Structure 1
Amino acid sequence: MSTLRIDAHQHYWSLTHRDYGWLADTPALHPIYRDFGPEDLAPLLDQAGIDGTVLVQAAPSEAETWRLLALAGQPRSRVRAVVGWTDLAAPHAPARIRRLAQEPLLKGLRPMLQDIPDPAWILDARLQPAIDTLAALGLCLDLLIKPHQLDAALAFARARPSLRMVIDHAAKPAIAHRAFEPWAAQMARFAAETPVCCKLSGLATEAGAGWDAAVLRPYVDHLLQHFGPERLMWGSDWPVLNLAGDYLQWHAVSDQLLVALSAADRARVRGANAAEFYGIK
């Protein structure tokens, strides 16, 4: 089992590139409305004892994916894997995926499903050639979904057990409103009926101001109960995390939430699972 400590979900972006349509100069997004790069994250990784990261797309553009791959390839980068983007519904998607897959650090793709109005878009037959190409190349699929998209995502995952998938941010339960059902039942079904993994990330942001271990524990305990430590991977969702807290706070609270696990199981959640899932060596 890998002993690497991996942050399985983080982002970099630069406002000079205009493909971040969701990132607006508003009071709500003020804490993250600036450039974020490796020099900003490095001190936090050092303090938290993180060996490497999975760098995930934040713009629905291939141009951003190529920028992320360039950043990841820098000599001092601690990026161990990149999850990029291409238009999976486009007729040329298989060729685009094969081109991206020539980059050794490209380990998967992520359509920004949460921003697509149709909750069943993932079931569109136009995606089938792209999905087949992902599976054939051994690439992963990150599922960026919200609770109302869980049923469609479950149907998709049940039909494609050979494609490695992970649910980002535990499907973003409405923790700020203390909403537990039907999210909890849907996630339990996902865990029972598919081999899909789940990221322990983004929960602080969904909880909003004033979150602590007690607020998050019911959700994390539910995920541990159903997915088990073998299918969960810890991530920061930095710098989006800065909307509701900070890196070291989330890292410390995560230790509290995982304290009942054995040392081996904590190591799985903290890095070994991500290393296996994304092919990090």
Structure 2
Amino acid sequence: MRVRRCRESDVTTQIDAHQHYWDPARDDYGWLTPDLAALYRRFGPADLAPLRERAGVSRTVVVQAAATVDETRYLLALARDEASIAGVVGWVPMLLPDTPALIGELAAQPKFKGVRPMLQDLPDDNWIANPELAPAVDALIAHDLTFDALIFARHVAPLEIFATRFPKLRIVVDHGAKPSVRDGAAGWQPWADGIERLARLPNVHCKVSGLATEASHDWTEATLQPYVAHLLASFGAGRLMWGSDWPVLNLNGDYLQWHAVASELLGALPDAQRDAIFGANAAAFYRL
């Protein structure tokens, strides 16, 4: 596949709204095991830099990959010395009584931009609808922070309750709610209806990321086109943001390939709308 690098006139400042850095030696990534050979090593800013530069991406949002506060502090420490890290989305134990104070402490660091509780891994799909989350969410709102929702279609109904309960909270759905791309037409529903439902909520945004990971190994631009088109039709260019999900992306693709495909799939949009999806929306949403 040819790599299409966006021209400078295409996008003013490109931001990767979703990527990860990790070090397995830290030993708090429960999902990251040696059998994931492509991922089981340290990934840091120096590994991503040449890929970013070839794609024309200048800044990124680094998202947590472990359900620990220690990992959040690790990412913030990386961010202090790395200009390309525009923001960090971390993890906090949202139901503990001292979490509002912890959120306030983390918010004192300028690159701390929000939290992600890894909803897809929780045993209770309705966890996000728990009204006892209110103190932590109120603290997020008070500190102008955001919420990343890592969900599947089965989480749509409880996320609707959550988003409606907290209309002032900026929420972004990660990876387009992870449609079952590899299943083709059989996997289209209930994902497609769920996306339309979430898009009706004005405080909910969505990331065009992670789609290749959900596809079969022989995926092409045509494979992902219906999913990107549905996200665009539902959320509009004003509430979508492009992300790589690197290095998880390496399981079923690569950075330049996915950037090229997304650029092609969104290439017919007016310049301002492409600028929004490839950078401006992330800057506004995360207050970068």
With normalisation by structure 1, the TM-score equals 0.96
Residue of structure 1 in register with 2:34 after alignment? 25
Match of 1:229 in 2: 237
Structure 1 segment 114-129 matched on structure 2, within 5 A: 114-129=120-135
- Tell me by how many angstroms 1:263 deviates: 1.1
> Are 1:48 and 2:74 an aligned pair?
no
The alignment partner of 1:31 has SS state of coil
Q: How is 1:179-198 mapped onto 2 (pairs within 5 angstroms)?
A: 179-198=187-206
Tell me the amino acid that sits aligned with residue 258 of structure 2.
W
Q: Say whether 1:70 aligns with 2:74.
A: no
Structure 2: gaps (5+ residues): 1-10
Amino acid at match of 2:14: R
Please tell me whether the aligned partners of residues 173 and 183 of structure 1 are also in contact (alpha carbons under 8 angstroms). Answer: yes
> Tell me, what secondary structure is at the counterpart of 1:30?
coil
Instruction: Assess if the C-alpha contact under 8 Å between 1:53 and 1:80 holds in 2.
Output: yes
Q: Note if contact 1:13-1:35 (Cα within 8 Å) is conserved in structure 2.
A: yes
Corresponding position of 2:278? 270
Identity of aligned residues (%): 53
Match of 2:198, as an amino acid? F
Q: How does 1:7-26 map to 2 (within 5 A)?
A: 7-26=16-35
Shift of 1:194: 3.4
Aligned residue type for 1:232: L
Q: Given the alignment, which residue of 168, 176, 188 partners 2:182? A: 176
Please give the alpha-carbon distance, in whole angstroms, between the structure 2 residues aligned to 1:18 and 1:126: 30
Match in the other structure for 2:226:
218
The structure 1 segments of at least 4 consecutive aligned residues displaced by more than 3 Å after TM superposition are none
Q: Taking structure 2 as the reference length, what is the TM-score of the superposition?
A: 0.94
One-letter amino acid of the counterpart of residue 13, structure 1: W
What CA distance in whole angstroms lies between the structure 1 residues aligned with 2:115 and 2:70? 14
Moved more, 191-200 or 58-67: 191-200
1:38–1:77 Cα contact (<8 Å) kept: no
How many Å apart are 1:59 and its aligned residue? 0.3
CA contact under 8 A between 2:76 and 2:88: conserved in structure 1?
yes
TM-superposed deviation, 1:125: 2.4
Q: Distance in 1 between matches of 2:200 and 2:105?
A: 35
Contact 2:169 2:203 in 1 (8 A): no
RMSD of the TM alignment (CA)? Answer: 1.1
- Aligned-partner SS, 2:114: strand
Match of 1:247 in 2: 255
Cα displacement (A) at 1:69? 0.5
Q: Contact 1:158–1:194 at 8 Å: present in 2 too?
A: no
- Alpha-carbon deviation of 1:232? 0.2
Pair 1:100 & 2:106 matched: yes
Is 1:140 matched up with 2:146?
yes
